[in-house]
Chains A and B, each alone.
Chain A
Amino acid sequence: MKRKIVIAASVAAVAALSLTACSGGSEPSGDATGPVTITVSGWSLDTTPEFQLLADGFHKSNPNITVKLKEYDPSNYNTLVTADLAAGTGPDVITQKEVKYVTTFQEGGQLLDLSDVKLPDGISGTDSYKVDGKLYAVPYRQDAWVLFYNKDLFDKAGVPTPDGSWTWDDYAAAAKELKTKLAAAGSKAYGAYQHTWQSTVQGFANNQSPDGGVLGGKYDYMKPYYERVLDLQKSGAQVTFNTATANQLTYQGEFGKQHAAMMMMGTWYVATLISQQASGDADQFTWGMAPAPQYDASTAGTDKTPVTFGDPTAFGVNANTDGAKQAAAKKFVEYAASEDAAKALAGIGITPALLNDNVVETYFATKGAPQDDLSKFAFSTHTVKPENPTSSKTAAIQNILNDMHSAIMSGSESIDKAISEAQDRVKNEVG
């Protein structure tokens, strides 16, 4: 009888004690002269080698600083990092995976002011991380959207390959011509593949239209872009949005397996395509990059600077670090933006934020990279505008625009109705 009470009480005591063991608490930072270890957050470490590459390169030039990578699930990266930061166990270097979340971290006081970090000249993407004139993260990578095209399929159809001076009407005409001529030549490939993301239409509309802009609240400028896409779907030149969603098509598969002759995609795809062609996951064929189709002739041509969009990826420093750890973290961030790091990244097919001639040369020296001048031009010469403007309203507005995108592309709403609904929603929900 008494024993049962004792057992019950001890069970309760053990349970209570084990709870107190789950206490947070920061470890004291290493002392200034000794070895320091900093943590850097990353994702999909086994398929995203850039983090380990930067960690190793930095350690070589700073032997007393070790960089430990903290892996997070890529589809929930921001939520998981937020949870860790709120609990006080966040990484010392916070990788900014999406520009949409920078203001969340910055307004929450999680990012250190990095305005005093020395940056090389010509580095792009810093504007995305400036709030009130202060820099809160340093970009190491800047992807841009370009036109990938399959030379072999173009030759098979007898259609001239892009020459760098295309506008969207040229692109649409080429896609339709490709589909007809490829069918005549016995191929089932489509003229183009358009992935289901909202950015494939809106990224261009927002950044190429004279009155475009996500934060503006008015989206009529998207109408001509959507009309063109719906027309391409109707003409059969590309697979419909509904089919792509229902069959869960992957852009790597559609272009890599030659189901389409053209595809708009970010420059991150170069590394994937090269490695998939080497491993056999993608077919062996000749491909190249061309500048994205332009709004009109004023920016189209290899003698001009085409306009495209893309978001950078950056490293921020945890504002709750101090002393030796903070200094080490700042050094790492500075290294990641440097030319050495940029050349290392270019060597594995990543598009660094610093794109000078040395870096571009290293990038195209990779085995499997296209060697033609147009590809090099498309990669290195462009104005990249941000896909996501840096504002606390961006995430909410982009969600509304994504609903609009699926409504238009699935054919469930007319373009005008969907745009006016999106405008009302932005006004009511975001203000």
Chain B
Amino acid sequence: MTATATMVTGAPRPSKPNTRMRLRVRNALIGWSFILPNFLGFALLTLVPVIALFYISFTNWNVFGVAHWTGLENFRRLLGDATFKTAFVNTLYYAVMHIPLTLVVSLGIALLLNTKLRGVAFFRTAAFFPYITSIVAIAMVWNLMFSPDYGPINQILRFIGIADPPGWLTSPQWAMPAVVIISTWRDMGYYMILFLAGLQTVPRELYEAARMDGANAWQRFVNVTIPCLRPTTFFVTVMLTINSFKIFDLILVMTKGGPGISTMVLSQFIWRKGFEENQFGYASAASVVLFLLCIVVTILQFLWNKRGSRA
């Protein structure tokens, strides 16, 4: 049997700049063709409307007919709008409570479920389940659970001796904490998955080395796990922050912004002004404010992360 000598050709070595350019263009085109379907969807359904939003926020459009330019009038009006200020403060209040709580809970569950025991898949699924449950079903069930007179939560509180349990969703002081609890319960599964993926990337040798140096579990956690999880934690925090500022469906279905306007958040303010009162220009201006809030905080987080990773 004759062995056929095949000529092994290595990677083409561009000898002239022309060939290098063609290669770059070809690679770029291939790359673009892969992302084009998704990008087209994004461009049409998200990018173009957002750009239109910036334009509409300077007009007083009411859906029908031409938008009339009104300059900074909408923003001036926002500054004097007490309901907008309440919605803004409520959004921050919700975010400040929700973000650390969800971070801690999801990381905790991820650590607990980061084992290879049999049946751990069941628990991971169970933790993730609330995230995919219908929001309307969640609202119904939690409304009943938080019912001040008949709900199980207050019954348990009374049983352990708290004579005057909070009014939860019917009380302006406790409505937002109640929403935060439900929201954390819903989101923890999703962020748990992200943390689990991050935990898999922590090299085992580091743990063994730490154990040999005499570090206990807490010291291993602080000195090995947390630093190695930094990229994951950063990603989770950024997503969590942006989603917290944009919270809408849970509050709308559970409290509709009530009692009064104690749980009204920016998204609901925008929706009400736009879809219920047809003031799309004004609602767009409020949307621009929400956008700026998200982007400023995200930029700050990126800067913080860069500074931290340099250290």
Contacts and interface: CB of A to CB of B under 8 A. Distances in A.
Contacts of B170: 242, 245-246, 410-412
B81 A429 contact: yes
Nearest to A400: B83
Interface in B1-48: 26, 29-30, 32-33, 36-37, 40, 44
Nearest to A422: B260
A110 B65 CA distance: 10
Interface string A52-68: 00000000000000000
Interface residues of A, number: 44
Interface in B121-171: 140, 143-144, 146-151, 167, 169-171
B26 A4 contact: yes
Contacts of B64: 82, 85-86, 104-105, 107-110
Contacts of B140: 248
Interface stretch (A6-14, A161-169, A179-187, A357-365): A6-14
Nearest to B82: A428
Interface stretch (A118-126, A290-298, A371-379, A401-409): A401-409
B119 interface: no
A155 interface: no
Interface string B166-197: 01011110000000000000000000000000
B259 A11 contact: no
Interface stretch (B88-96, B198-206, B272-280): B272-280
B262 interface: yes
B261 interface: yes
Contacts of B167: 242, 410-411
Contacts of B33: 4, 7-9, 11-12
A5 interface: yes
Nearest to B33: A8
Contacts, number: 121
Given A110-B64, A428-B80, A243 B37 contact: no
A425 to B, nearest CB: 6
Interface in B220-271: 256-262
B259 A248 contact: no
Q: Which one of A19, A79, A407, A429 has the greatest number of beta carbons of chain B within 10 Å?
A: A429
Given A108-B63, A108-B64, A410-B170, A399 B143 contact: no
Nearest to B275: A79
A396 B64 CA distance: 18
A399 B259 contact: no
Contacts of A418: 260
Nearest to A105: B64
A369 interface: no
B26 A5 contact: yes
Q: How large is the interface on B (under 10, 10 to 19, 20 to 34, 35 or more residues)?
A: 35 or more
B301 interface: no
B26 A1 contact: yes
Contacts of A406: 256, 258-260
Q: Which one of B29, B140, B151 has the greatest number of beta carbons of chain A within 10 Å?
A: B29
B62 interface: yes
Nearest to A239: B149
Interface string A215-251: 0000000000000000000000000101101111000
Contacts of B276: 395, 399
A73 to B, nearest CB: 13
Interface string A266-286: 000000000000000000000
Contacts of A15: 36-37, 40
Contacts of A399: 272, 276-277
A416 interface: no
Given A8-B30, A243-B147, A410-B259, A104 B62 contact: yes
A395 B277 contact: yes
Interface in A90-145: 101, 104-105, 107-110
A1 B22 CA distance: 11
Contacts of A413: 172, 260
B260 A425 contact: no
Given A82-B63, A395-B277, A399-B276, A12 B36 contact: yes
Contacts of B272: 399
Contacts of B256: 406
Interface string A409-431: 01111000010000011001100
Given A246-B143, A246-B148, A403-B257, A425 B83 contact: yes
Q: Which one of A8, A86, A424 has the greatest number of beta carbons of chain B within 10 Å?
A: A8
B82 A425 contact: yes
A242 B260 contact: no
B146 A412 contact: no
A236 to B, nearest CB: 12
B293 to A, nearest CB: 21
B149 A243 contact: yes
B62 A247 contact: no
B284 to A, nearest CB: 15
12 contacts: A1-B26, A4-B30, A8-B33, A8-B36, A9-B33, A245-B143, A248-B143, A396-B277, A403-B258, A410-B171, A410-B260, A425-B82
A-B complex: 9 closest residue pairs judged by Cβ atoms: A108-B64, A8-B33, A407-B260, A246-B147, A242-B170, A410-B259, A406-B258, A412-B172, A412-B259
Given A403-B260, A429-B83, 5 more contacts: A8-B33, A104-B64, A246-B170, A395-B276, A412-B262
Interface of A: 1, 4-5, 7-9, 11-12, 15, 19, 79, 82, 85-86, 101, 104-105, 107-110, 240, 242-243, 245-248, 395-396, 399, 403-404, 406-407, 410-413, 418, 424-425, 428-429
